[in-house]
Every structure is written in structure tokens, then in C-alpha cells.
Amino acid sequence: MALVEIRDVFKSYWLHGKRIDVLSGVSLDIERGELVSLVGASGAGKSTFLHVLGTLDAPVAGSLHFDGTSVFELSDAGLARFRNRTIGFVFQSHFLLPEFTALENVAMPALVQRVDRAAALAQARALLERVGLGARLDHRPGELSGGEAQRVALARALVLQPALLLADEPTGNLDPATGEGIHQLLREVNRDLGITMVVVTHNEVLARSMPRQLRLQAGKVLRA
Amino acid sequence: MNSDTATLALSEVERPRWALRAAAVLLLSVGAGLLLLAVRQAGAGDGLFSALALLAPGWGGLVQAGLGLLRAAHRAPPVALALPWRWILAGAVGWCLGWALLAFSIPKAQAKDEAPSAAADSPLYPPLAAWRDFSPATFAAYAVAILGGEVVLVLLQTFLASGARGLGMAAPSAFVLSLLAAVLVAFAAGAFGAARARRLAAPEATIAVLYLGTPLPVLLTLLPNFPRAALWVGYRFREITYVAELIGRPEIAYWLTFTLLVVALALGILSGFVAGGSGTLDLSTGFELFVAARHVQVFRPRLLFGGLLVLLLGVVPPLLVLAVLRAADAAVERTRIRALGLKDPMLAAAAQRAWAEKAQTATAMMTALSVGGVGVGVMALIIVLSVMSGFEADLQTKILGTNAHVVVLKYTDNGAMPEYAEVVKKVEGLRGVIGVTPFIFGQVMIASEGNVDGTIIKGIDPASVGSVTDLPKNVLPGGNIDWLTQPNSIPVHRPARPRAATDADDEVVHHTPGGTEPVLPGILLGRELAASLRVLVGDRVTAVSPLGGGMGPTGPVPRSRAFRVAGIFYTGMYEYDSKFAYISLGEAQSFLDVKGATGVELKVADVDDARRISGAALQALDGYPYRTKDWGEMNRNLFSALRLEKLMMGIILTIIVIVAAGLIVATVTMLVLEKRKEISVLKALGVPDSGVVKIFLAEGLQIGLAGGLLGLLSGLAWCLFIEKVGLRMDPQVYYIHSLPVKVEPLQTALAVVIAVLVSYLASVFPALRAAQVEPVEGLKAE
Ligand SMILES: Nc1ncnc2c1ncn2[C@@H]1O[C@H](COP(=O)(O)OP(=O)(O)OP(=O)(O)O)[C@@H](O)[C@H]1O
Ligand SMILES: [Mg+2]
């Protein structure tokens, strides 16, 4: 059984009474431990797909099975727990919480899960050291550079060792060298921790370096 | 492949629907108008319109019209009542048709106007597929909450307070217990219903409150207007109506209690939703508090201290000081930064950055304002209620110092009770009775050489009166209550040196014909009375009883008797000091021609228990021809007016707190708007809806707690100030030297609890709005 089974997912938007079909019947299997790249033209619906996959957005129709459980049938709290324990997100911008330090931001998913404060902070510290930010623990997001913030965001996505990491153009805002550093980190995480990943990217080189390559086109996911 | 023309022809569908709705509303108004006319014709208009305000929520014109007719029916003689049937019929038809039309105008599912989409065969998104718009189980739970709460209140109050079939507790304390139980029922059932439904279930709650909750208070409010109905069911609510009447305006009590139950239900629903939204009870809040505390940060010593200063000293002085300090700080800091920069620009930049970080955001200012607003409300509540309690306590000690707690009287033609000694013996031993004394009551004129005044004269037993009233203690130095029975001991007032009458016309001049004064029975006069008669201890006064002399040829003959002032008393109540005179029981018996005594006065250990003891005393005396009255009954108007006034003040001041709550709504709403993106992120990190609600509730609650704390501290400080330093009042005008205060712990705690509760409730709406923020919403922005 595949880790993720997506069947017949439809998603449309309405703008001034006009329907915009973004996903029209997406079906896809993702195996455990896979590293998948997703490309597509701007506006093709890659972000939308990732949001539906991460249960951040409700589709019109379709089903999503994760490890055999039908995710869309979970209650609100069940969905929240699913997002908290099984999914890690990295977005184009870092979306760190501005009132909290880098360390607290990374610990946040563990705190949501009501892990003991000290234990959560220790775990977060270890991860931040691993992404090379041991000297920035007490910085607020406003006091970090773009690349640093993105690495903090990555550490936050990994703190609970999720089964699936969804990354939406994680290097879109960064210069090529910094971006390459993040890519390197992603590959390491996939290799060392065995975390399954779906990475949306415009970077052809990066996309081609991934073991499995998908393309979103005309509302369907195709093999790239 | 964006499917192009799925444009909904909205206007096409909308037009007939709105026409239908307009027609329905028109019909409804015409129907209601006709019914109103019918009521006017039946002559029940005024009664109806007063009921209208109470019945407006959800009960419709039919009930109103019916009640108006009922009222008219019982008022007018039955034959004269001609019901305007045609009007009623027309009105009712119009009313029902209107509703039918409205129901008809509810949009039905629309017919498909295009070919099935590509998604036609895929499974619908499950939450939508599982959508329920009405849950009977939740409705039942809410019904239990509101109706069950009311029933529990009535039954428990009847059981606890009823002397015959229950425990015979004092009515007010029984009511507190019953209300607590009812509130718990409402809260628990509401929480259960919401946790079960995993939503707030507002339709169910509205229907339950309006259609199941209001009938009882409506019934209780209207009962006094329908003697026949009151006869029929009234006795079942005896204990409840008794408690409600204690404050003078029972209907206010009914609706306040009802409102309290509704609030308890709302809180229960919210708690159930927040705690049990997941199906498992999740009461832990550590994470939510952590986030909330970072958002609002009200418990900073500087903010709290500043707030306290503002509440204690007024707004202007602390702000002036603050402004001066700020300006001085800024000047010093800039000089320092410049000096640093001249050495090393980097140091200056760092210092500047640290300085800039202290600047406050708009939301922080709003937060401080809301804390201050709640603080002002709580402070005002505490001060005003404490002063009113002070007045009440002052009045109570004065009244109870002069009057007995319970009196025993007898129904006879002349009101006499010759066997008073037996009565005293019978009631003396009752539990809770700590003093008994007989008395005689009469009204006489008292004349001195200087003036004449009408007074109430009481014959007392000087030996035992001290065990019932404070009279012996109130006798001013120079007099003595025991002289009532030892008239020989009264010092005779003689002017040091007799003066000629022309010398001073206004002064009391004693003519002592034989050189020695006769021995006269003693009398005690109130201070104001003595002043108006211009007499002192030892002076002679004449009392005239209009009826005491028996029948003469021209009707009752007045009887007069001379007394000597044995003492002057001061109670502090103008009414008593200007209207009361006391003589010994024996003198009163012969002077007022009363056999034995008029009645017997009792003092009880606990004044709140007086009503029960009054009943017990009556039982001990086998009822008729005896009757008893407690102090509450004797002074009912005064105390119920006071209590009503206090309630009104409480309500008015609670409105201040509610205005402050408006500030809280605004502040929390601003916080929610400001944190939209963060809410999305938190949701993406796995915070459930109930967690988001908790975060923002905690923010409102923190503001309420901080404000309540400030209000409590400053209110108590003000009360202490008034008590210790005192606000002088002109005793000539108020008959009181300074503003009395009495800080009642329960009432003070209640003020704080109300503020915290109102803050909590105020943040409910913004918190629920926060939970509705979709996770993608904030993640797409930028
Ligand atoms: N809330 C919305 N309302 C209407 N249309 C929307 C909404 N959100 C997205 N869209 C449309 O849906 C389409 C897919 O958007 P999406 O963000 O998924 O594209 P994307 O593939 O991630 O593009 P990019 O590579 O530029 O990030 C776009 O055409 C966009 O205009
Ligand atoms: Mg995108």
C-alpha cells in the first residue's frame, strides 16, 4: 500500500460567477520514502494541489488516503492532529511567527502536541544546530536573513519527524547559492531520516535531480 | 481548460423570491395590525402593549393578542365583553398566510441548468457530505439546560425554603443555593450538547431559549394580572415569588435570573465546543496560554502599576507625569546615543535599535485602554455598591437598634394583651430568641412650656427593654432609663437664679410656686423632640391622650398627665429622634387605659432568621388571635426600595463594564485581524479550531483579569480612604456625619467576577471568527 493515495481530486475557484477549474480529477500514489518533484507553469495549480494534499484546503470532491486512513473524513480536531504529526510544510516565504524566537518557532509543533516545554526546546535546539543556526537561537524572525529564516522554517517542519514533507518553492525567494544549500539539506533529510517529500519547484536542474518527476498540466498530474 | 460559462443567473432566481418575501412581510404586518385593532376594540390595548415588550422575542402577535383578550375578559364584566371575532379572524388568517408565504419563499434546490461536470461521479468532500443542520439530541440537551435549569430552580427553592414540606431555610440563602444548582445544570447540559454536536448549534440553542425558556418567566411576570390563574397555579411558585418580591420589583428578578441561566447556557455551549470539539475532552491550555500571553502581554508590572495610578489619582496627573518622564528619558537617551556614536557608530546604531524596540503598537495601546476601561467599571461598581451597603447597614443598625426584630400582637377590639406575661414565657424559650420585652403603644400630644408636638409614646419595661433594643445605650449622659421606675431620683431642673420674665422671653422659665417640685413619673424623649419642646432632663412636660379619658357627654374626653424628663436619647435616625417618647409600662397602662400590654417584642440572634422565628413564635402561641411581624415586614417598603436601588445601581454600573467589554471586542477583533496570517500558520502546524478559540479567549480573559485586578485594588483603596479619612457630609442636611461604607466580600467578588465574565463573553465572538480563518487564507498572501 502506498503512503499517499489520491483519487479523483477536483478543485475549482469561482471568480465573479465564473468557474476556474484548477484540479480536475487528480489521481496519484506516493510511496514511502519517495522524493518527488512537481513542476508546472505558473498558475497551473501546484500550490493548490499541495494545499489539498496537506489538508489546508478543501477540495470539491475526491478522496485522500494516508497510510490507509481516509483523511478527509477526519473531524476538525482529527485533521489538526494529522497536520501536526504527519505533515511538515515549507513554503516560499518562511511564515514564522513574529512574536517568538527562532528556537520557540521550531519548537512550536511540539508545543502544539503538548510535549513538555523543556524537551521541545532541546529538540528544537538540536535541529537548529543541524541546519547551522546554533548561533541564532534567540533571534526573532525579523532579525534573520531570508536564507536563515527559510532554514528555521525547514527545522520547524522537521521537528516532529513528519511522514511527509511538502515544500512549495522553498528556494523561490533565495539566491542560487543559498537555494542550493537548502536543496542539499532537503536531500540529506530524505536520505538520513527517510522522510517522504514532495517538492514544488521552478528550478529545472533541481527537478531533474529528483528520483521521481511529476508535472501538473491542464488540471491533471502527469509524469514529467 | 477553465470551464467558461457556469455563470449563475442569480438575478433571475432572486427576483420572484424577494417579491414573495415582500408580500409575506406585508401580509404579516396587515395580520398583526388587524389583531392589534381587535385587541383595541376589546378594550385590552394598554395591558397588551405593556406585555408586548416581554413577549416580543419569538412569540408572535397571536400570543400577545390572546393575552390581551384574556386580560380584558377578566377586567370587563363577562356580558359586556363582545369579542370582535371578525377582526380576530381576519388578523389571524393574514398572520398565518404571511408565515406560509415566507416558508414558501425559502429557496429550494435549483434545477440543473447545465450538463454534469467532470466531478459528477467523484465522492463529495466528506465534511460537506456529513453536514447536519439540526441535531435533535443537541436540542434536547439545550432544552434540559434552560427548561431543566428553571425547573430545578423552582423545585429546589420550594424544597429548601418551604417551612411545611421542606427544610425551612432562610429564603435568600436557599435561593443562592438553588440558583447555583440551576446555573450548573444549564452549564453542564449546554456543554454536553455542544460537545456532542461538535459545533455551537446556534439554531437549537435559539429555539430552546425562546420557546422553552421564556414561558416560565413570562408566566411568572403575568401571573399577578390574572387572579384566577394565580389561584390555580400560583401556590406552586409561592417560594419563588416570595424571594422575587423581596427586592420590590419581582419581574426584574425573574428576567435577571432568566438572563443568568441563558448566560450559563451560552458559557456551557462555548466550553463544550472548545473543550470537546475533538470528541475527546481537552482541557489543557498550556500552549494556548503561551501564545496568548505573547500576543497581549497585559501582565507587565509597568502597565499594571500605571493603570493603578490612573485609577487612583485620575487620568490627568499620572499622564502628565508620564509625559514629562518620557520626554526627559528621550532627551537623555539621545544624548547618550550621540556620545556613543562619536566614539563608535556601531554602538550608536545598536543603542538606537534597542530604543526603537520599546515603541508601542496600536494594538498594545488598545489593550491598555481596555484594561483601564474594565478597571474603571469594576472600581465604580465596588465603590458605589459598598457605599450603598454602608447606607443600608447604617439604616439597619439604627432601625434594629430602636425596633424589635419580631413583635407579637393580638387581634382584639382595643389591641390589648392582658396575658402578656404568659406570652413572654412561651416565646422566651424559642431557639434563636435572645430577648423578650412587653410594650404598650400609643399616640399622644406632648406639650412643654415652650412648644407642642405629636408623638408616638411607648410604655416599656426598663428592666428588660435593653435585651431587645439599644434604647438604654442610646440615652444621652445626664439621663437614666431606670428613673422611669424611680421618679424620685430624677434631678429636678431649677434655674440657678430666677430671672424676670422680661429678661429673656425665649428661655424656659420655671415657676416653682411651692418652692418644691412635685414628684412626677419619668419620660424619655428623643433628641430632636426634646429640642423642639425646648426641654432638658428634669423639666416637666404634659402628655395629652385624646382618647384616654373615657366617654363624656360630647364624645371621647382627652386625658392629660404631667411627666418629668428622665432622659434624652439619640438613635441617629431623625424619624425616631423626633417622634418617639418612652414611659414605664405601669404608667402607660393607666395613662393609655390599656390592660396588660399591646404586645411583646423579641430580639433574635440572627436578624436574617427573623422571618422563620416569627413563624415559630406564632406556632408556639397557637396562631389566632395572635399575630407576629418581623422587622423585614415592618419596614418592607424602606428595605425593598433600598435593595431595588442597589440592584438598579448594579445594573447601571454593569453597563459601564459592558461598555468596557465593547472595548475588549474591538481589541480582540483587532488582534484577530492583525494575526490572520499567524492563525493560518498555527492551523497549518496542527492547532485545531478549538485551540484557536482558546488562544483568543485567553487574550480577552487576560484583559478582563488585569482590569478586574486593577479595579479591585483601586476600588478597595477608595473604600478604605472613604472609611478612614471619610467624606464629610453636612449632618444638618443628611442627619449623618460621613459617607458610610461597608465592603461586602461577596458583592465585591461578584463585581470582579462579572467583569471577568463579561470580558470572556466579549472575546467569544472575535475568537470564533478567528477559528473560521481558513489555513490557506494567510498562507497565500504575499
Ligand atoms: N482564491 C482564489 N480565487 C480564485 N482563483 C484562485 C484562487 N487561488 C488561486 N486561484 C487560481 O488558481 C490557479 C492555481 O493557482 P496556484 O497558486 O495553485 O498556482 P501555482 O501553480 O502554484 O502557480 P505559481 O507557480 O505561480 O506559484 C491560478 O490560476 C490562480 O489564479
Ligand atoms: Mg504556487
- Is residue B500 very low, low, confident or very high in pLDDT (cuts 50, 70, 90)? very low
Identify the top-confidence range among A215-224, B303-312, B388-397, B720-729.
A215-224
- Judge if the beta carbon of residue A46 lies within 6 A of ligand 1: yes
Residues ≥6 apart with Cβ < 8 Å to B288: B691, B694, B695, B698
Sequence letter at residue B337? I
Question: Residue A170 and residue A89: Cα distance in Å, rounded?
Answer: 10
Q: Is B779 on the interface with A (CB under 8 A)?
A: yes
- Is residue B629 very low, low, confident or very high in pLDDT (cuts 50, 70, 90)? confident
Residues ≥6 apart with Cβ < 8 Å to A12: A19, A20, A21, A22, A23, A24, A60, B3
Q: Which ranges of B476-580 does DSSP label H, i.e. alpha helix? A: 527-533, 574-579
How far from the centroid of its chain's Cα atoms is residue A100's Cα? 21
B501 has a pLDDT exceeding 50: no
Residues ≥6 apart with Cβ < 8 Å to B263: B757, B761
Distance A154 CA to ligand 1 centre (A): 23
- Judge if the beta carbon of residue A1 lies within 6 A of ligand 1: no
Average pLDDT of chain A to the nearest whole number? 89
Residues ≥6 apart with Cβ < 8 Å to B721: none
Q: Is B294 on the interface with A (CB under 8 A)?
A: yes
Q: With an 8 Å Cβ cutoff, are B681 and A95 in contact?
A: yes
Q: With an 8 Å Cβ cutoff, are B685 and A73 in contact?
A: no
pLDDT number for residue B81: 44
Q: What is the pLDDT of residues B127-164, one digit of tens each?
A: 777 777 788 888 999 999 999 999 999 999 888 887 66
- Judge if the beta carbon of residue A16 lies within 6 A of ligand 1: no
Average pLDDT over residues B405-425: 78
Q: Which atom of ligand 1 is nearest to the CA of A15?
A: 4
Question: Residue A218 and residue A222: Cα distance in Å, rounded?
Answer: 10
Q: Is A172 on the interface with B (CB under 8 A)?
A: no
pLDDT number for residue B50: 52
Question: Residue A191 and residue A210: Cα distance in Å, rounded?
Answer: 12
Q: What is the pLDDT of residues A63-73, one digit of tens each?
A: 999 998 999 88
For residues B8 and A24, which has the higher predicted lDDT (pLDDT)?
Answer: A24
Rounded to 10 degrees, what is the CA torsion of B182, B187, B193, B194?
A: 160
Question: Residue B277 and residue B687: Cα distance in Å, rounded?
Answer: 12
Cα–Cα distance list, B268 to B89, B146, B746, B764, B767 (Å): 43, 11, 23, 12, 16
Give the up-direction half-sphere exposure of residue B466: CA atoms within 13 A in the CB hemisphere: 9
For residues B501 and B410, which has the higher predicted lDDT (pLDDT)?
Answer: B410
Q: Is B577 on the interface with A (CB under 8 A)?
A: no
User: B695, B770 in Cβ contact below 8 A?
Assistant: yes
User: B94, B34 in Cβ contact below 8 A?
Assistant: yes
pLDDT number for residue B248: 65
Taking one residue from A and the other from B, the number of pairs with CB-CB distance under 8 angstroms is 146
Nearest CA in chain A to B117: A24
pLDDT number for residue A121: 92
Instruction: Indicate the burial class of B368 (C-beta count within 10 angstroms; 0-12, 13-18, 19 or more).
Output: buried
Q: Which atom of ligand 1 is nearest to the CA of A49?
A: 18
User: A25, A9 in Cβ contact below 8 A?
Assistant: yes
Residues ≥6 apart with Cβ < 8 Å to A106: A124, A127, A128, A152, A155, A156, A159
Q: How close, in Å, is residue A166 to chain B by CA atoms?
A: 12
User: B401, B474 in Cβ contact below 8 A?
Assistant: yes
CB-proximal residues (5 Å) to ion ligand 2: A 47
- Judge if the beta carbon of residue A41 lies within 6 A of ligand 1: no
A window 30-89, beta carbon within 8 A of B? 47, 51, 54, 56-63, 70, 72-73, 75-85, 89
Rounded to 10 degrees, what is the CA torsion of A11, A15, A20, A22?
A: -40
User: B126, A75 in Cβ contact below 8 A?
Assistant: no
Q: How close, in Å, is residue B240 to chain A by CA atoms?
A: 44
- Tell me the pairing of strands B599-604 and A196-200: unpaired
Residue from the list A19, A61, A100 with its beta carbon closest to the beta carbon of B122 = A61
Specify the number of domains making up chain A: 1
Q: In what order do the strands lie in the sheet with A35-39?
A: A87-90, A164-168, A196-200, A35-39, A212-217, A220-223
B299 has a pLDDT exceeding 50: yes
Q: With an 8 Å Cβ cutoff, are B686 and A8 in contact?
A: no
What is the helix (H) or strand (E) element at residue B704, kind and residue range? helix B689-724
Question: Residue A45 and residue A11: Cα distance in Å, rounded?
Answer: 9
Q: Which three cell numbers stand for residue B34?
A: 388587524
Question: Residue B129 and residue B98: Cα distance in Å, rounded?
Answer: 33
pLDDT number for residue B8: 44
Q: Which of B182-186, B494-498, B659-663, B679-683 is least confident? A: B494-498
Residue A172's CATH number: 3.40.50.300
Closest CA to A218 of A49, A51, A62, A92: A49
Which range marks the domain in which residue A59 is found?
4-223
Q: Which of A11-20, B61-70, B481-490, B726-735 is least confident? A: B61-70
B640 has a pLDDT exceeding 90: no
Q: With an 8 Å Cβ cutoff, are B118 and A25 in contact?
A: yes
Q: How close, in Å, is residue B92 to chain A by CA atoms?
A: 43
Q: How close, in Å, is residue A45 to chain B by CA atoms?
A: 12
Distance A31 CA to ligand 1 centre (A): 27
Sequence letter at residue B777? E
- Is residue B9 very low, low, confident or very high in pLDDT (cuts 50, 70, 90)? very low
Q: What is the DSSP letter of A72?
A: G
Nearest CA in chain B to A93: B782
Q: Which pTM does this prediction carry?
A: 0.72
What is the helix (H) or strand (E) element at residue A214, kind and residue range? strand A212-217
What is the helix (H) or strand (E) element at residue B205, kind and residue range? helix B202-207
- Is residue B226 very low, low, confident or very high in pLDDT (cuts 50, 70, 90)? low
Residues ≥6 apart with Cβ < 8 Å to A136: A102, A128, A144, A148, A152
Q: Is B126 on the interface with A (CB under 8 A)?
A: yes
- Judge if the beta carbon of residue A159 lies within 6 A of ligand 1: no
Q: What is the DSSP letter of B738?
A: B
Average pLDDT of chain B to the nearest whole number? 78
The CB density around residue B338, as the number of other CB atoms within 10 Å, is 11
B56 has a pLDDT exceeding 60: no
- Judge if the beta carbon of residue A43 lies within 6 A of ligand 1: yes
User: A19, A41 in Cβ contact below 8 A?
Assistant: no
pLDDT number for residue B509: 41
Instruction: Indicate the burial class of B415 (C-beta count within 10 angstroms; 0-12, 13-18, 19 or more).
Output: middle
For residues A58 and B64, which has the higher predicted lDDT (pLDDT)?
Answer: A58
> B397 forms bridges with which residues in the sheet?
none
B508 has a pLDDT exceeding 50: no
Rounded to 10 degrees, what is the CA torsion of B708, B711, B717, B722?
A: -130
The label of the residue with cell 441563558 reads B262
- Is residue B51 very low, low, confident or very high in pLDDT (cuts 50, 70, 90)? low
Q: How close, in Å, is residue B681 to chain A by CA atoms?
A: 7
The CB density around residue B563, as the number of other CB atoms within 10 Å, is 25
Identify the top-confidence range among B117-126, B598-607, B665-674.
B665-674
C-alpha dihedral sign at B434, B437, B443, B444:
negative
Closest CA to B153 of B224, B214, B216: B216
- Ligand 1, pocket-test mutation among A26, A46, A220, most atoms within 8 A of CB: A46
- Ligand 1, pocket-test mutation among A20, A60, A169, most atoms within 8 A of CB: A20
For residues B185 and B59, which has the higher predicted lDDT (pLDDT)?
Answer: B185
